[in-house]
Amino acid sequence: MWKGRFHEETAPIVQQFTESVSYDWRLYRVDIQGSVAHAAALAKAGLLSQEERQLIETGLKAIEQEIAEGKFKFKVGLEDIHMNIESALTARIGPAGAKLHTARSRNDQIALDLRLYLRNETDEIRVLLTNLQRALVQLASRYPDAILPGYTHLQRAQPVLFGHHLLAYVEMLERDRERLADCRKRINHMPLGSGAIAGSTIQLDRRFIAELLGFPEVTRNSMDAVSDRDFAAEFLFAVSLIGIHLSRLSEDFILFATAEFALIKLSDAYTTGSSLMPQKKNPDVCELTRGKSGRLIGNLMSLLVTLKGLPMTYNRDLQEDKEPVFDSIDQVKLALEVYAGMVAVTEVDLRRMRNTAGDPALLATDLADYLVLHDVPFRQAHEIIGKLVAYSLEQNRGFDQMSLEEFRRFSSSFGPDVFEVLNLDRAIDSRTSIGAPSRKNVAAALEAWNAILREEP
């Protein structure tokens, strides 16, 4: 494509070093979509006849089908997906194919393709997030009375409904969906027409192209348009956060499925065994998901480091944007899909969970609140209950095994009604403030989420 300027063939090792078609071939659909729109704009400007435009579109659609069926022969010497398609088109339809690149550079063509591709992938990832949210809501709905010992610092803290715990992840995933939707707004700007750096003296109707491709906006600066990868970095950041949220959920499920916790049971279909120890049942889906979060973060860092030292405008370094983007898309989509399947068939050991949550020490804060409601200042109440906890440990007896006289050794504000505080169900249902885990609140939250998720694709 640059034989007019160069007198020697590109060295084979340089071809191998600079090619990208081995991975950017997956842009073929959006590349053809963009070229069809570009041909329409060339025809509108009188630079192509309608016959030439039809030849181009028909030829491109045939090439698209060949690639989809695995029949297309990619050539490394043509470097990338863009030149492979253009060369095949010209060979197929003749001079009309050679006109297609009029008023277009690979710089703005690549920028367009990546935006089209990420726009599509963003929509697909949002659907997968919704599916996982549905699975979590369904799991919570199957066990409405499961009471979990909530943890801080991985120490038993206060009792919560298991459904409330799962809904925390539903909230995280919703923010992930919102982040992707917001990121999509910045992806959704049409760069074609920016040329290599400074547009073109050949005037095409950029807004017409944008309309054909479903872009609400066109980019406003040709230099920025061909070198901008902010949208890709933002996309990778959003995907990295999805990975982090999945990693946290994985850690919880790994712990809860151990013999030490034994709160949930993962399906055989989503676990593996040991090559040596026949008793093992390993939570590999959770562990691999937790591990892949590091990979997603690494892909984000890779792109950011690539971008940080680039002068204006397009530099070949930007070819390195695609592999981390493609890899993050593949990994997060796979993780979301397998996780939704795993969550859907996860079981809860209700008896074990309730027995664990029944540890009277989890109601220490409730006892402090009891004293506050009996006019004891909170800091003083906190100290009193701290001493009561120490006494309980020394005596090796829970609060529910103590007499009223023992309680009153620590504060005269304790009355016979103190034992009502030690009821686990009452403790849960007393937490009625907005966002707290009473049964009523959690049931309402599940109903609300079911309604929200029904509206999603």
**153 a catalytic residue:** yes
CB atoms closer than 10 angstroms to residue 356: 18
Choose the catalytic residue: 22, 49, 274, 412: 274
DSSP state of 282: B
Residues 320 and 364: their CA atoms lie apart, in Å, by 55
Choose the catalytic residue: 7, 153, 275, 403: 153
**274 a catalytic residue:** yes
**In 89-210, beta strands by DSSP E:** 147-152, 155-161, 189-190
Q: How far is CA 435 from CA 87, 163, 171, 432, in A?
A: 60, 12, 11, 8
Tokens representing 282 are: 């390993």
Q: How far is CA 124 from CA 121, 140, 321, in A?
A: 5, 25, 20
Tokens representing 454 are: 């029904």
Residues 367 and 415: their CA atoms lie apart, in Å, by 12
CA angle 156, 240, 346 (to 5 degrees): 50
Cβ–Cβ < 8 Å for 299, 328: yes
- Token match 């399906």: residue? 267
Specify the pairing of strand 217-218 against strand 189-190. parallel
Q: How far is CA 277 from CA 205, 274, 351, in A?
A: 68, 5, 28
- Count of helices and strands (H, E) across the chain: 20, 6
Residues 238 and 176: their CA atoms lie apart, in Å, by 7
Q: How far is CA 239 from CA 54, 113, 244, 292, in A?
A: 39, 20, 9, 11
Rounding to the nearest 10 degrees, give the CA dihedral for residues 313, 317, 318, 323: 180
Active-site residues, by number, are 153, 274
